[in-house]
Amino acid sequence: MASSGLQLLGIFLALVGIASTVTATLMVEWKKQSQGKHRAYEGLWMSCSGTERTTCEIHESLFKLPTEVQATRAVMLLSLLLSAIAMIVSTVGMKCTHFMDRIPDSKSTTAMIGGIIFMVSGLLTIIITSWYVKMIVQTFQESHRLQSYEFGKAVFVSWAGGLLTMAGGAFLSCRRCCGSKSSESISSDMKSNYV
C-alpha cells in the first residue's frame, strides 16, 4: 500500500514537472531586454517588444534563429516526447492499475523503466536550460550591455520542471527496486518458516 502511495506521488510530481516544462517551452520570456520603458522578450517560438503595449511575432524561419534557440527548442521537444512515453510506460507498471496483473515481476520492471525515462527527460531539460543560460551570459559579457539580452522567467520554470520530473521518476524507479527486494525477503522468510 505504501508502495502505491509513493508511485502516485511520483506520477503527481512528474505531471507537475511536465506541465512546467510545457509552460516554459511556450513562454516568451527566455531572453529579456529593457531600455527605459521599452522592453523586448524572446522565446523559443516568438519574440515580443514594445513600451506600453507589446506586439509579438512568431519566428518564421528556423535557420535565422540563434543556435541556442534552435538547440533548446529541439531538446525541449525531445524531453516532452520522452515524458509522454514515460507516462504511458509508468501507468502500465503502477500497482494501482490492472495492466499486467498476472505478471507482477514484469509490471514492477515496467514501472522502474518508466521512472528511469522520466529521470532522463528531466535531466535533458535541466542540461539544455543550463546551456542556454550559459550562452546568454556569455553573449552578455562579450557584447555591449545595453544591446544584449538577459535570461528571463522561463529559464526558472524550465529548471523547476526538470527537477520535478526527475524527482517523480526517482520515486517511481527507486521504490520499485525497494519493493521488489522487500517482497523477495518476505517470500524467503516464509519458505524458511515452512522448512
pLDDT digits (tens, 9 = 90+) for 20-67: 999 999 988 888 877 767 778 888 888 888 777 778 788 777 677 778
Let me know if residue 102 belongs to a domain. Answer: yes
pLDDT at residue number 101? 60
**Neighbour tally for 17: CB within 10 Å:** 26
Per-residue pLDDT reduced to its tens digit, 127-150: 999 998 888 888 776 666 555 677
Answer whether residue 176 shows pLDDT above 60.
Answer: no
Q: Rg of the chain over CA atoms, in angstroms?
A: 22
Exposed, middle or buried by CB within 10 Å (0-12, 13-18, 19+), for 119? buried
Residues 6+ positions from 100 with CB-CB distance below 8 Å: 92, 93, 106, 107, 110
Query: Model pTM?
Result: 0.78
Question: Sheet holding 46-50: strands in order across?
Answer: 54-58, 46-50, 38-42, 31-35, 150-151
Pick from 82-96, 154-168, 181-195 the range whose average pLDDT is largest.
Answer: 154-168
Calpha distance 95→175 (Å, rounded):
12
Let me know if residue 40 belongs to a domain. Answer: no
Provide the number of structural domains found in the chain: 1
Q: What is the three-class DSSP state of 155?
A: helix
Let me know if residue 130 belongs to a domain. Answer: yes
pLDDT at residue number 78? 95
**pLDDT grade, residue 114 (50/70/90)?**
confident
Calpha distance 19→161 (Å, rounded):
7
Let me know if residue 101 belongs to a domain. Answer: yes
The average confidence (pLDDT) of the chain is: 78
pLDDT at residue number 181? 44
Let me know if residue 54 belongs to a domain. Answer: no
Domain that holds residue 25: 2-30+63-194
**pLDDT grade, residue 161 (50/70/90)?**
very high
Calpha distance 131→4 (Å, rounded):
36
Q: What is the H or E stretch that residue 122 is in?
A: helix 104-142
Helices and strands, number each (H, E), in the chain: 4, 5
Let me know if residue 53 belongs to a domain. Answer: no
CATH code at position 181:
1.20.140.150
Let me know if residue 153 belongs to a domain. Answer: yes
